[in-house]
Chain A
């Protein structure tokens, strides 16, 4: 069973704080993704990584950065949290390449509130 875990289910931070969201997967997947989910907007891709130390911007990277020092771990960093970053953050992982399914497996999500 693929398991994707996220460090916190709920997080409350203050404006201007630096925030770290951690994601760990245990299936040796090359690809890892960070999304944010907001009502009526579906899931929007923030950043993804297809290998250690590699990263690609998604559709909404502004205000975020990422780190991938080990294959199993992908961190999302909010350098200076703002209230408009209050959201549900979902991490996902998948195999690299054009394998038959290559579906993404999701973590439980972190609901971040920035006050």
Chain B
């Protein structure tokens, strides 16, 4: 059974600071997704990571994937208040279409 764990689950940070959210998963996967959810809203796709060593960047967010370590990171650079949201990683098993989600990391960026 595929398990996906994120840490931290709660993150309060100051504007301008850097931080990393970690996503560990338990079995072989061929792709990993990061989603963002604003309060009361649905999930929005941020990144899709397909292969070992993949790195994708969008604005102040950068995601990377290490398939050997079964680890993905979401790095936040110089945080701003607009990044406050809950971030989920989701992992797809090598076969099939279903995703397994982590618990989510609730990020609050304070002025």
Closest chain A CB from B42 CB (angstroms): 4
Determine whether the beta carbon of A106 is less than 8 Å from that of B43: yes
Residues in B with CB closer than 8 Å to A105 are 45
- Identity of the chain B residue whose Cβ is nearest the Cβ of A45 in the assembled complex: B98
Q: Is the CB of B101 within 8 A of A50?
A: no
In the assembled complex, B75 has its CB within 8 A of some CB on chain A: no
Any chain B CB within 8 A of the CB of A12? no
Q: Which of B33, B44, B50, B102 interacts with A42 by CB under 8 Å?
A: B102
Q: Are A42 and B97 in contact (CB under 8 A)?
A: no
What's the minimum C-beta distance from A55 to chain B, rounded to whole angstroms?
Answer: 13
In the complex where A40-B103, A41-B103, A42-B103 touch, is A58 in contact with B98 (Cβ < 8 A)? yes
Range for the number of chain B residues in contact with chain A: 20 to 34
Residues of A within 8 A of B9 (CB): 40
List B76-111 residues whose CB lies under 8 Å from chain A.
Answer: 88, 90, 92, 97-104
Q: Is there contact, CB below 8 Å, between A48 and B101?
A: no
Question: In the assembled complex, which residues on chain B have CB atoms less than 8 Å from the CB atom of A101?
Answer: 31, 48
A97 to B30, CA, bound (A): 13
Q: Is A108 an interface residue, CB under 8 A from the partner?
A: yes
Q: Which residue of A lies closest to B50 (CB)?
A: A100
User: What distance in Å separates the Cβ of A92 from its nearest Cβ neighbour in chain B?
Assistant: 8
Q: Does B98 contact A33, Cβ atoms closer than 8 Å?
A: yes
Task: Give which listed residue, A31, A50, A90, A96, contacts B43 with CB less than 8 A.
Answer: A90
Let me know if A103 is at the binding interface, CB within 8 A.
Answer: yes
Q: Which residues of A contact B31 (CB under 8 A)?
A: 101-102
Is A7 in contact with chain B by the CB < 8 A criterion?
Answer: no
Please name all residues of chain B whose beta carbon is closer than 8 Å to the beta carbon of A25 when the two chains form the complex. Answer: none
Q: Are A102 and B101 in contact (CB under 8 A)?
A: no
Q: Does A75 reach chain B (CB closer than 8 Å)?
A: no
- CB pair A107–B42 under 8 Å, yes or no, is yes
Please list the 6 inter-chain residue pairs (A to B) with the smallest Cβ-Cβ separation, ordered nearest first: A43-B101, A42-B103, A106-B43, A42-B101, A106-B42, A108-B42
- A–B pairs, 11, beta carbons within 8 Å: A33-B98, A35-B101, A42-B4, A42-B88, A43-B101, A48-B97, A97-B97, A104-B45, A106-B42, A108-B41, A108-B42
